[in-house]
Structure 1
């Protein structure tokens, strides 16, 4: 072991959000721009900052985590990164949280050290690195100097070499802090003004990654320019050069593993959705004889050629779920390869991608569970014990792990006693130790066939393989064995007729896009081909008012009278689309939940307004029934349809009122409630605290071209929406429609039409049942949802079009898919003709798929 000169500094701060990342990235970029070679490091398990370090330094960013890797490996790992691929002139280590903040509680050996285990101070001590303190100077002057003095003197084993001020408001403040620091022997190395140019976006798990930040390179460059203009780079380089030589042998991945035969190819997920992976993971696999090939699951149509192992690291798949779901060819190949036994490691984001679905969008379908975003953050270090044997671990082995996510799996995808699942056996991966001394089950092992050895290890646990190189060795060995068996060529994945999820629901798709000239329209729920004659007469008679600006007051009073509420509870809107847009922009929910399957416009509006949106997906096995206890109690906005489009299910008013609580806005879309005789379960009434109910005249009165609807609700909430609404949003003909369709005569006609539609619906349901086609639940709307998942979905709509009918399928509804049809209720004669056409189409498709099966005969 020889002592090596490794110039270095560590950037620390009194607390989070002081500016460590800005200073660290800017300092790396500025030093590199000055002609020095720079190596960047991050204290702790953070994956995001090293991505920016890599851009700033032009070489891989690395993590220094004594909990995951062991304190004894920190200096060797640092030396490896500082010297590889070439020696750096200076290394910059970005700290974590406050300077002495680390893992909560006592150290692993039971001691009570001044610094938290894994803290910036702990790493500074392990590396004997001089510390530069970053202090936010926007809210104090000489007090900042006292704070620096306290940090510098708290642990005499740590050398605080200087101070960098951030977000200072002026030269006088800088002078005050500088004089205060001079009193305690701390030089101020520069002061950064508050800058809006250097801004990295943020999200639910921290900063936006470098792979996703649209101008990440520009941000790094601006940070470098800011630092170069305001900090003394030469003084910082002198401090770094004064660090003692480090007597340590650099970590060598080749010394940790042995090469396996065959040079197996490991496909490692990368790109915006899979940015979280430690640099040393690939280095260990390469040292073990593998060839690591990066691929982006957002764009790659298949796995790399001759793949023998798959590594799906962490990241933000929830931000890219639709693109991942849309890449069906890759998901199908992964499912097929897993069924062959392809060794696969999936951490956090990888686990979500292997699930059946993520927020209602279809994923690869390897793990028999659905996943979704929640407002709850799960974070922390812990020990995890392997619960079962797999290619990666042996039962009973203990590993140090880190967990960091806001998603959850709906049901455990494993059995402790292995049993048949949708794809082979699915078994428990981990028993994770809890702070109270117990264990919780987590993660899943997937075996390709019942009773075989698991070849997939998927869980939320992040492990640093430099701390457990045996994992790389075992993965490489499994990949080598897989490659040796000849499993190289991709095979198409078998389709599952019962698959209930679409690849990537197009939330902006509406039924009118499916309508073609000359076809019978069962796709759009407009009741008739034209408005009633008396309504057209009233609208035309109002033409003498069209030269004046519209006045909503009379129509608003008519709608209020129709529902027995006060006018201040009513806001007329240009259709439901405007209502949902007003709601999305008028309120700022911390966590909005949309109950699916349902009309997609509310979610589109919320997402377009930048609101955080989660989904609660109801299931066909439960008849798409809603239970308010399924909802996360922290949701402060809930959107649900009643009766729901496209299922037709009518939820009880009691179950929806149970959603109401202080601080929560409940939005109920009752667009089809006037098509239910008597309008049972409507929530419109005199007391609507926290409630907003949207209604529409469009479907019942066949006026989608006029764009007229309304919201009824809590007067305080209505005022918020009215404030968001522009002047004169509704035309005079639309206001006349609202007034005339709210009269007692119109309500009576709507009720009569609803009773007739109910009879027509019962006729359609019976005819469908006659050919073995089931609807789900008891539909109460002027449409039914048909379950055709047992039949080949491909070509169904095309076949019906050739027979004269256009229908709406379920691809655009989260939680459904191509195996579902939503059918508008029409006259019984039309329903009879359609059912006959549907029977012919299904028979033709089934015969094409099973050519030896005899035809089923005519349907009468």
Structure 2
């Protein structure tokens, strides 16, 4: 194939390759040519300037990253439709991978692509010696069996005066054509910092500076001769690279459960300027819809996002702005905790850490999805890598090797826990089935299977099934440890009250008697009580109570409040408690502007009980704090017994009294809140049996029975916890009639095969498939379960040992109470 092209090279870094190459691209484009810009090596910054100059994506040609055999196909692909391709070299002409005998050097890529070379030489500190330098570059052949590179011209840079330039030109003579001379004050250098040039995307003046540079190049360089030399480049054997063919198929459009194509949000903007053009092309070829996300300005993930790609950039330089975008940080933390497939390279890794400390100033909070912190390092890390995946994860398979590069001047000050993304010298990063975060940059054109796996994971992602209930895990022939309903017989007096209530079904129900009984039971006024058709109705009423501006639900917990909020048209936030912190609530983690906060106590499914003073600390003017006390059967740490400003307590009779078929519950709140909720309530929503149950279970005898049942459940739970610990299974210390256990990925299915149903935990925000919730049953039933675990646990996958979430904020639906 015919492709006019030139390689811009130099004796060493600092001679002006980027300035001249970018200026040539801009000048040729402004002269009416369609120009394709390319860069030898892994660098991201220079292609950003190339893109600005040409109006086309800047592209990289690197044999280490993509393989020597892909250089010509990628060049032809990137230059499709262009009149001329300008390729900027890297370092000195013959400088490549250390120890690689010039592998991945400018000369290597020029030889493989048969591209003529134009030298850019800084002559500011010499005159006639320049001719010797050029002669050496033109004639030296590292491999005697191969001819030297084809140097077809030279551009002299930083001439001190006309006399100085004339001296250099005379010494060069007829050795090689001099295509142009730039004076010392002609060059326009982009500002630099700890990683080199400041990216074009971060410079407001970049376009203006480029126009000036293009004008100077057009004035001082013979563009017509440049084009003639480029047109003399030999034809190329090969076909253009195709992303779909690289993936191994012509068309593949995976569909999500909704029938839509997966939507992958790709970070951009000033803080995330680094990614290879082929990355997005591969994602689209694999069937994804790619949408851009600017972490500096966007406050939410794009609607329908099923995957997230955080590439390279300079988050440390924009740490204050990134940290100030608190809502997006919470949104991302929540989504990643829920298993959103996420790829984070270098800058993306830093952004997902708990904090980043820039060159100057204090540490700034970041997303907090990874339990590590980052700061500036004393020296630059810049190296090619060949890395191996230690285990199966989102992108790679165990023992799979990839090529990549590191380019950063930061370090993690606290290492991540869990499986490393790649086995490299510092092992910085972490990988799971849904997250891949590392310092390593990879070029997916060299490893297209990474893109295919990412898109497949994004297509499969649906987030937690927020309407999942424990009864869906149970089934015929299975021992039920999934549903949290007391499995003993109901008291005779309760059954009698329920039966008697049927005699009243010929009249509309009146819940006033039930509300008076509940008020007596808690020492409250009847005006403080609203009877409801279970907690589900209460959540629906609360969601409709106000036009909430920033509702927040604390997780992991029952997710019905999120269903209610979403149904009412709100976008609830999430505060996902950390496993590393024992799933305990820090009131300071609740956003100051949250006007509705919903929390379970004890929290479902962790069983963690929050002290009453901690919850009271959440109350403040303009905020309603809703406490779901569904499992607070012993009344320890309850807030039900007194009227507290801004505090709403919900109770349900379902679990302790074994009546899930009768939706009976109530709200305890300030009278004005109760009145407002009552105004929203559908008339007669609380049935006669539910009213009878509320009255019967509010008596003194009923409370004595409730305490007896709570004590029985505590004994059962302790027996279950002791047995799990003996098996070496991690548990979360619980005060509820269930235990959250880390039995390992796939354990739920293994137990089901043995006849036991346990509650899946991956539908709870902040938890994954390695966790299950087990209800406390009679000793004999628990012993049978422990025996099944004893026989299956050794073959189960080991539990994942990383923190999967941080304190956060976004949205959800219905799980088991």
Give the TM-score, by structure 2 length. 0.57
Among candidates 420, 427, 440, match of residue 428 of structure 1: 420
Cα offset, 1:798, TM superposition: 11
Residue in 2 that maps onto 1:721: none
Cα offset, 1:354, TM superposition: 0.8
Residue in 2 that maps onto 1:217: 207
Residue in 1 that maps onto 2:149: 158
SS at match of 1:146: helix
Q: Is the 8 A contact 1:326 1:503 kept in 2?
A: no
SS at match of 1:381: strand
1:198 and 1:486 map into 2 onto residues whose CA distance is 56
Residue in 1 that maps onto 2:290: 292
Residue in 2 that maps onto 1:103: 97
Residue in 2 that maps onto 1:645: none
Per the alignment, do residues 486 and 72 of structure 1 end up closer, same or farther by CA in structure 2, a change over 3 Å counting? Answer: farther
2:408 and 2:186 map into 1 onto residues whose CA distance is 29
Deviation readout 1:485-506 (Å, 9 max, x if unpaired): 88999762225433878999xx
Deviation readout 1:468-518 (Å, 9 max, x if unpaired): 0000110111111115988999762225433878999xxxxxxxxxxxxxx
Among candidates 221, 224, 231, match of residue 241 of structure 1: 231
Deviation readout 1:34-74 (Å, 9 max, x if unpaired): 11110000110100010110010010000111101001101
Cα offset, 1:790, TM superposition: 8.3
Cα offset, 1:10, TM superposition: 0.3
Residue in 2 that maps onto 1:226: 216
SS at match of 1:49: helix
Residue in 1 that maps onto 2:389: 386
Deviation readout 1:573-616 (Å, 9 max, x if unpaired): xxxxxxxxxxxxxxxxxxxxxxxxxxxxxxxxxxxxxxxxxxxx
Cα offset, 1:371, TM superposition: 1.3
Per the alignment, do residues 245 and 484 of structure 1 end up closer, same or farther by CA in structure 2, a change over 3 Å counting? Answer: farther
Residue in 1 that maps onto 2:347: 349
Per the alignment, do residues 428 and 794 of structure 1 end up closer, same or farther by CA in structure 2, a change over 3 Å counting? Answer: farther
Per the alignment, do residues 499 and 224 of structure 1 end up closer, same or farther by CA in structure 2, a change over 3 Å counting? Answer: farther
1:5 and 1:60 map into 2 onto residues whose CA distance is 21
Cα offset, 1:301, TM superposition: 1.1
Residue in 1 that maps onto 2:703: none
1:385 and 1:491 map into 2 onto residues whose CA distance is 40
Among candidates 575, 578, 589, match of residue 494 of structure 1: 575
Residue in 2 that maps onto 1:315: 313
Q: Is the 8 A contact 1:178 1:187 kept in 2?
A: no
1:34 and 1:789 map into 2 onto residues whose CA distance is 69
Cα offset, 1:392, TM superposition: 1.1
Residue in 1 that maps onto 2:379: 376
Residue in 2 that maps onto 1:144: 130
Among candidates 186, 202, 207, match of residue 197 of structure 2: 207
Cα offset, 1:269, TM superposition: 0.3
Cα offset, 1:163, TM superposition: 0.7
Per the alignment, do residues 136 and 483 of structure 1 end up closer, same or farther by CA in structure 2, a change over 3 Å counting? Answer: same
1:798 and 1:367 map into 2 onto residues whose CA distance is 30
Q: Is the 8 A contact 1:197 1:222 kept in 2?
A: no
Q: Is the 8 A contact 2:587 2:618 kept in 1?
A: no
Per the alignment, do residues 250 and 192 of structure 1 end up closer, same or farther by CA in structure 2, a change over 3 Å counting? Answer: same
Deviation readout 1:206-228 (Å, 9 max, x if unpaired): 11111101211111111111100
Cα offset, 1:411, TM superposition: 1.9
Residue in 2 that maps onto 1:261: 254
1:226 and 1:33 map into 2 onto residues whose CA distance is 12
Residue in 2 that maps onto 1:135: 121
1:13 and 1:287 map into 2 onto residues whose CA distance is 37
Per the alignment, do residues 227 and 350 of structure 1 end up closer, same or farther by CA in structure 2, a change over 3 Å counting? Answer: same
- The answer to which structure, 1 or 2, has the higher relative contact order (CA under 8 A, 6+ apart) is 2
Per the alignment, do residues 387 and 792 of structure 1 end up closer, same or farther by CA in structure 2, a change over 3 Å counting? Answer: farther
Cα offset, 1:428, TM superposition: 2.0
Residue in 2 that maps onto 1:732: none
SS at match of 1:461: coil
Q: Where in structure 2 are the equivalents of 1:239-638 lying within 5 Å?
A: 239-257=229-247, 258=249, 259-262=252-255, 263-359=261-357, 360-415=363-418, 427-432=419-424, 434=425, 440-446=426-432, 454-483=433-462, 492-494=573-575, 496=577, 497-498=585-586
Per the alignment, do residues 792 and 220 of structure 1 end up closer, same or farther by CA in structure 2, a change over 3 Å counting? Answer: farther
1:854 and 1:265 map into 2 onto residues whose CA distance is 43
Per the alignment, do residues 170 and 340 of structure 1 end up closer, same or farther by CA in structure 2, a change over 3 Å counting? Answer: same
SS at match of 1:158: coil
SS at match of 2:265: strand
Per the alignment, do residues 368 and 189 of structure 1 end up closer, same or farther by CA in structure 2, a change over 3 Å counting? Answer: same
Q: Where in structure 2 are the equivalents of 1:180-191 lying within 5 Å?
A: 180-183=171-174, 185-191=175-181
Per the alignment, do residues 361 and 848 of structure 1 end up closer, same or farther by CA in structure 2, a change over 3 Å counting? Answer: farther
Which 4+ residue blocks in structure 1 deviate beyond 6 angstroms? 484-490, 499-504, 788-791, 796-799, 843-847, 851-855
Cα offset, 1:341, TM superposition: 1.3
Which structure: larger Rg? 2
Q: Is the 8 A contact 1:141 1:173 kept in 2?
A: yes
Deviation readout 1:90-137 (Å, 9 max, x if unpaired): 10000111111111003xxxxxx4xx1111111110111110000001
1:226 and 1:344 map into 2 onto residues whose CA distance is 44
Q: Is the 8 A contact 2:394 2:453 kept in 1?
A: yes
- Report the aligned-residue RMSD: 2.9
Q: Is the 8 A contact 1:260 1:477 kept in 2?
A: no
1:304 and 1:60 map into 2 onto residues whose CA distance is 24
Residue in 2 that maps onto 1:848: 647
1:204 and 1:794 map into 2 onto residues whose CA distance is 46
1:177 and 1:404 map into 2 onto residues whose CA distance is 37
Cα offset, 1:305, TM superposition: 1.3
Q: Is the 8 A contact 1:9 1:240 kept in 2?
A: yes
Q: How many residues align?
A: 493
Q: Is the 8 A contact 2:393 2:434 kept in 1?
A: yes
2:71 and 2:386 map into 1 onto residues whose CA distance is 19
Per the alignment, do residues 176 and 365 of structure 1 end up closer, same or farther by CA in structure 2, a change over 3 Å counting? Answer: same
Per the alignment, do residues 244 and 492 of structure 1 end up closer, same or farther by CA in structure 2, a change over 3 Å counting? Answer: same
Q: Is the 8 A contact 2:118 2:153 kept in 1?
A: yes
Per the alignment, do residues 503 and 190 of structure 1 end up closer, same or farther by CA in structure 2, a change over 3 Å counting? Answer: farther
2:399 and 2:196 map into 1 onto residues whose CA distance is 34
Segment of structure 1 superposing worse, 466-475 or 217-226: 217-226
Give the TM-score, by structure 1 length. 0.54
Residue in 2 that maps onto 1:81: 78
Q: Is the 8 A contact 2:338 2:463 kept in 1?
A: no
SS at match of 1:15: coil
Cα offset, 1:260, TM superposition: 3.4
Per the alignment, do residues 397 and 798 of structure 1 end up closer, same or farther by CA in structure 2, a change over 3 Å counting? Answer: closer
Residue in 2 that maps onto 1:71: 68
2:214 and 2:26 map into 1 onto residues whose CA distance is 5
Q: Is the 8 A contact 1:361 1:501 kept in 2?
A: no
Per the alignment, do residues 305 and 854 of structure 1 end up closer, same or farther by CA in structure 2, a change over 3 Å counting? Answer: closer
Q: Is the 8 A contact 1:363 1:503 kept in 2?
A: no
1:242 and 1:131 map into 2 onto residues whose CA distance is 11
Q: Is the 8 A contact 1:260 1:476 kept in 2?
A: no
Residue in 1 that maps onto 2:20: 23
Q: Is the 8 A contact 1:500 1:789 kept in 2?
A: no
Cα offset, 1:374, TM superposition: 2.3
1:220 and 1:337 map into 2 onto residues whose CA distance is 40
2:74 and 2:644 map into 1 onto residues whose CA distance is 61
Q: Is the 8 A contact 1:48 1:207 kept in 2?
A: yes
2:192 and 2:56 map into 1 onto residues whose CA distance is 24
Q: Which structure 1 residue ranges, 5 or more long, are not aligned?
A: 107-112, 416-426, 435-439, 447-453, 505-771, 774-787, 800-839, 856-860
